[in-house]
Amino acid sequence: MFNRLKSYWLDPEFNRKKQFLKQVPFFRNVPRREFGRLFQALAQRNYQAGDVLFKEGDVGRALFILEWGQIEIARRIGPGKTQRIAVLGPGDYFGEVSLLDDQPRTASATALTPSRVYLLYKTELGTLLEGAPHAGAAIMAHLAEVLAARLRSSMNRNRPAAAAGPEPLMEEVS
């Protein structure tokens, strides 16, 4: 095991990837001694323009971290119609809620340009939590921060409707 980790640390490609991943908020606080295990837990995938990474309705099983390229996140808004939610670039991540549950994806992800992503599967996160608890804890703490910020933002957007009573809020949800 030690020789395997040592070979990673001496590999220039590993060091390039490590520098990139340290810039990603999810991994910023991962202790150096556990970074090799984190790196082993990540899968790397390359996509061409037009490739679909996942579709709305698919069961989410992984967090995606975009190293290079552009990914469009879009959702269906009617028969044959989609709405662009975001265009993501290097360093962005998406699909993080899938680390917590097995619910269907709420949007689709499509490569707009040739792209490389790293994936952290939910099963690998479980293994990481056991074998590298500080790395797992750092990832889970950041995930909690992201979800709390989104919940707060959602609540603030709905505050005027909520103050008017349940009827306008129900109309907005419908």
> For position 1, what pLDDT does the model report?
53
> For position 99, what pLDDT does the model report?
79
Query: Which residue type, as a one-letter code, is found at position 129?
Result: L
Task: Annotate the chain with three-state secondary structure.
Answer: CHHHHHHHHHCHHHHHHHHHHHCCHHHCCCCHHHHHHHHHHEEEEEECCCCEEECCCCECCEEEEEEECCEEEEEEEECCEEEEEEEECCCCEECHHHHCCCCECCCEEEECCCEEEEEEEHHHHHHHHHHCHHHHHHHHHHHHHHHHHHHHHHHHHHHHHHHCCHHHHHHHHC
pTM for the whole thing?
A: 0.77
Domains of the chain: 2-173 (2.60.120.10)
Q: What is the pLDDT of residues 57-106, one digit of tens each?
A: 999 999 999 999 999 999 999 898 999 999 999 999 899 888 788 889 99
Per-residue confidence in pLDDT tens, the chain, 174 aa: 556 556 666 777 778 888 888 888 878 888 878 877 888 889 999 999 999 999 999 999 999 999 999 999 999 998 989 999 999 999 998 998 887 888 899 999 999 999 999 999 988 888 878 888 888 788 888 888 888 887 888 788 766 555 555 454 444 443
Query: Residue 8's closest CA among 41, 43, 44, 36?
Result: 36
Phi, psi of 97, deg, nearest 5: -65, -25
